[in-house]
Structure 1
Amino acid sequence: MDYQHAHSHTPASYDGHYHQEQEIYLPPQSAYMSRSTSLQSGSSMLKAPGLASDESLPKQLPLKATRVQEKPLETKQERNWLTRLFPKSWPIRLFLLTVFIETVVDLAIQGDIYARISSISSNDNNEAKTIRKMTVYLGLFAFAHVFQLAIAIEAVWQKNTLQFLFLTLFNFLFFVYSLIESAEVRGLQSYLQPGITNISVGTLTIISNVVLALSEIAFIAIGWQIWKEFGWKVYKFLGADRQIKRIFAHYQIYLSLLRFDMFFCIGFSAQLIAFLLTNTQDAEYYLTIAALPLGVILLIGGHFAARYENKWLMFSFMLGCICATVYFAYKLFRIYEGKDGEYFDFFKSMTTFAALSLFFLIVTFVWGCIVMHNFGRGLKEQMAKKLSGHRRRGTSTTLDKHFPMTSNPNRMSIE
């Protein structure tokens, strides 16, 4: 018996033709699937006489296969970068905002005072020395603010709790330095003319000191919250291994010491060039200028030596630290020896910077030995693994040119 005859259930009113109002519904076909191929399965039934052909079926609009849209990778990377730099945590945002406001306000005040001091013209040799000294102090003050802002941003970026503590101490020393500078600036008040603003120099210095004091109070107030925030981030980054966390703490202290080495070395060299090495024919003038960028390169090399656990680079850095320590010890002796002579006007400031530079170099050398002793204990691999994991989560793989957002090349999304 014929298949169509045995399985057909033709209505009684069948007159040999299907009327137009009768419709045959088939499962919807995708635009990516061939209609002819799908209809050929079970061809013995579909090709039987009396059944509707493919051409007589109601025409259906082709269904579109759309790709799942995703935001561009650059947008994700930009969002991750901004989230890491400006996280949603209110203590960290308050910390960055405080440092930023402090920097802007104090730089504006120092700029106004500098403009007033620069306009003084004096034939008196002592007054000329005082004016030059104050301009250098104002320059160091401005450099310290920019340095503090950069270190604060880096501390947030690296989640370095110890660097935040160093910054709190640095801001306190900054406040003490501001009090000393304010007293010396007010000593020149009778020579100063109105500057960018008509506010008196005494009032400007008071405002600067108040801003520094309020910033220090804010750092102390939010310190515990930032400590917990950074501690949790480090825990998620490194895990619960106490040995790795201890080694990482040594590494963070070492990085913080490098930053402050750079600040005090640059500050001392700037004062030495501005105050004493005015003779361009002197060989020490050019040696000091050449030593400044070399010192910065040395400190950068120390950073990379610890990050990638390169022993030869670390040995070179430590040798440079020994040479720098000898140099600053010699300069400190020269300053003390000439405190009643050529160093008389700059004795306090240069002694402070030379002593602090010497102290930080010695501590950095000792801590560098500790960091080098920790080489090969797993910190480098742990940090590399975590960083590569973050990069993988931010990437997108295209496995098929038609369906780039899926790992299955045969998967599609139909709307």
Structure 2
Amino acid sequence: MFIEALLGTRAQRLFMATLLIQAIVVLVMVGITFRMVDEHVSFTLSGYKTLPCYLALFALAEVFELFMAADALRLRNIIQLVGILLFHLALIVSAALQVHQTRDALINGSVDCSDPTATDYLINCDVPGSLWRKIEPFLIVTPCVIAASWLIMMFWIKQLYGEFGWAIFHIVGANPKTKTMYQYYQVEICLLKFDFFFFTGVTMQLLIVVLSRNSAEFGVTIAAIPIVLGLLMGAALAVRREIKWLMSISLVMMLAAETYCELIYKLVRFYEPSSRDQYNTTRATLTVFTIVAFLLLFGTFTVGLRCFSDFDRGLLPSKLHDSNKRPKYSLSGNSSGNMSQRQSSYNGGTMLAPRISIE
């Protein structure tokens, strides 16, 4: 069996190519929509802030997904690839919701659509030749392209599963308990990465679309950014280095953020009568993002507890070796040597196939 370098196989290259092509097409569709609307309306008006937020959110999502895919291939992490598939599903939902939200932002009842001579008739009415009819095809193409790329990604991830499925063996050996502990560690690190995106997505929508700079909630949201980012980085460091005191603080802060910020405070603000109007054009997307962020944070907390219980049980050397020493790949010219003479640097003695040489 050969160990291929990053992007050294057809499956890896075509998986990344699928994501790259999809990202280009989606950003072009969103960019065209943004330009067409920008020619007719002012984005400084609160009702039209949905579109620049939509563009920024999808630009962030596509860059994040490309980074996560490259990182998963680099680490040979099949769990992270499955996470990318789930993240892609969330993108499909978000893109589909955006069609409805953009229509609500444009067709807002501010114009008498029964009078063709009314000002802004072709901007704020759903009639032939109107702005909405022009941008609707571009908005619909976006979720369709993302859905098609998701099906193609499933095929390539199936190929990559066969390619990467044995990689954990070379890191932790054949012990089933150690393998299970390492898999929980991988899930926790993967969840922390996705926590970062969804927190950033909710914050971006609140700051761009909803909140006034003079409001108390704007200040609270700004203040929460370094706290949450510090929490995520601290949790990642704690679980990797098995720092008990830091992991304890991270778990307590996760529970507090989950109870106050995500579930009670934000979701109630979206729907309570005193504040629901300011979330009118983004309520659906914000609700989806907030619920997903809550579920991810709850999952991170739960898996974090399991990882905490695995501290000091012999997994630390594998974590540190996996994160700090990447294998160098080369093909040995001598295929007739004794298998016992070829040891894995990952496991300090795990026997590998005769033609593998890992330095």
Please classify the TM superposition score into its range, dividing by the shorter chain length: 0.7 to 0.9
* Equivalent in 270, 275, 278 of residue 209 of structure 2: 275
1:114 paired to 2:34: yes
Query: What RMSD in Å do the two structures reach over aligned CA positions?
Result: 2.9
**Aligned-pair CA distance for 1:95:** 1.0
Aligned residue for 1:366?
302
For residues 393 and 231 of structure 1, do their structure 2 counterparts lie closer, same or farther at Cα, with a shift above 3 Å needed?
closer
Contact 1:186 1:201 in 2 (8 A): no
What are the Cα deviations for residues 140-176 of structure 1, in whole angstroms up to 9, with x where unaligned? 1221111111111111112221111111122122122
SS of structure 2 residue aligned to 1:303: helix
Contact 2:240 2:320 in 1 (8 A): no
Aligned residue for 1:342?
278
For residues 293 and 114 of structure 1, do their structure 2 counterparts lie closer, same or farther at Cα, with a shift above 3 Å needed?
farther
**Aligned-pair CA distance for 1:223:** 2.5
**Rg larger in structure:** 1
For residues 267 and 392 of structure 1, do their structure 2 counterparts lie closer, same or farther at Cα, with a shift above 3 Å needed?
closer
Q: Distance in 2 between matches of 1:238 and 1:373?
A: 18
* Equivalent in 71, 76, 85 of residue 6 of structure 2: 85
Counterpart of 2:185 in structure 1: which amino acid? Y
Q: Distance in 2 between matches of 1:354 and 1:390?
A: 36
**Aligned-pair CA distance for 1:271:** 1.6
Q: Distance in 2 between matches of 1:343 and 1:371?
A: 38
| Superposed counterparts of 1:66-105, under 5 Å | 84-86=5-7, 88-105=8-25
Aligned residue for 2:80?
163
Aligned residue for 1:152?
69
Q: Distance in 2 between matches of 1:298 and 1:388?
A: 22
Q: Distance in 2 between matches of 1:384 and 1:356?
A: 30
For residues 328 and 184 of structure 1, do their structure 2 counterparts lie closer, same or farther at Cα, with a shift above 3 Å needed?
closer
Q: Distance in 2 between matches of 1:282 and 1:115?
A: 30
Q: Distance in 2 between matches of 1:214 and 1:290?
A: 39
Q: Distance in 1 between matches of 2:42 and 2:322?
A: 61
What are the Cα deviations for residues 303-356 of structure 1, in whole angstroms up to 9, with x where unaligned? 111111111111121122122112222221222323754333332222222222
Aligned residue for 1:236?
170
Count of equivalent residues: 302
For residues 386 and 167 of structure 1, do their structure 2 counterparts lie closer, same or farther at Cα, with a shift above 3 Å needed?
closer
SS of structure 1 residue aligned to 2:165: helix
| Superposed counterparts of 1:289-300, under 5 Å | 289-300=222-233
| Superposed counterparts of 1:159-308, under 5 Å | 159-185=76-102, 188=106, 190-191=122-123, 201-278=135-212, 280-308=213-241
What are the Cα deviations for residues 95-133 of structure 1, in whole angstroms up to 9, with x where unaligned? 11111111122122222222222333369x9xx433212
Q: Distance in 1 between matches of 2:252 and 2:137?
A: 48
**Aligned-pair CA distance for 1:388:** 7.2
For residues 379 and 218 of structure 1, do their structure 2 counterparts lie closer, same or farther at Cα, with a shift above 3 Å needed?
same
Identity score, percent? 29
Aligned residue for 1:377?
313
For residues 335 and 160 of structure 1, do their structure 2 counterparts lie closer, same or farther at Cα, with a shift above 3 Å needed?
same
What are the Cα deviations for residues 8-42 of structure 1, in whole angstroms up to 9, with x where unaligned? xxxxxxxxxxxxxxxxxxxxxxxxxxxxxxxxxxx
Counterpart of 2:51 in structure 1: which amino acid? M
Q: Distance in 1 between matches of 2:304 and 2:163?
A: 27
What are the Cα deviations for residues 360-407 of structure 1, in whole angstroms up to 9, with x where unaligned? 11121111110111111122113445677767999xxxxxxxxxxxxx
For residues 341 and 371 of structure 1, do their structure 2 counterparts lie closer, same or farther at Cα, with a shift above 3 Å needed?
same
Contact 1:298 1:320 in 2 (8 A): yes
For residues 392 and 351 of structure 1, do their structure 2 counterparts lie closer, same or farther at Cα, with a shift above 3 Å needed?
closer
Counterpart of 2:218 in structure 1: which amino acid? Y
For residues 349 and 315 of structure 1, do their structure 2 counterparts lie closer, same or farther at Cα, with a shift above 3 Å needed?
same
SS of structure 1 residue aligned to 2:278: coil
Counterpart of 1:361 in structure 2: which amino acid? L
For residues 161 and 202 of structure 1, do their structure 2 counterparts lie closer, same or farther at Cα, with a shift above 3 Å needed?
same
Contact 1:264 1:353 in 2 (8 A): yes
**Aligned-pair CA distance for 1:137:** 2.1
SS of structure 1 residue aligned to 2:296: helix
SS of structure 2 residue aligned to 1:368: helix
| Superposed counterparts of 1:22-41, under 5 Å | none
Contact 1:318 1:368 in 2 (8 A): yes
Of 364-373 and 314-323, the range deviating more from structure 2: 314-323
Q: TM-score, normalised by structure 2?
A: 0.75
Extract unaligned runs of 5+ from structure 1: 1-79, 193-198, 395-415
SS of structure 2 residue aligned to 1:342: helix
Q: Distance in 2 between matches of 1:386 and 1:296?
A: 23
SS of structure 2 residue aligned to 1:85: coil
**Aligned-pair CA distance for 1:282:** 2.9
Q: Distance in 2 between matches of 1:393 and 1:225?
A: 20
Q: TM-score, normalised by structure 1?
A: 0.66
Contact 1:117 1:135 in 2 (8 A): no
Q: Distance in 2 between matches of 1:176 and 1:357?
A: 15
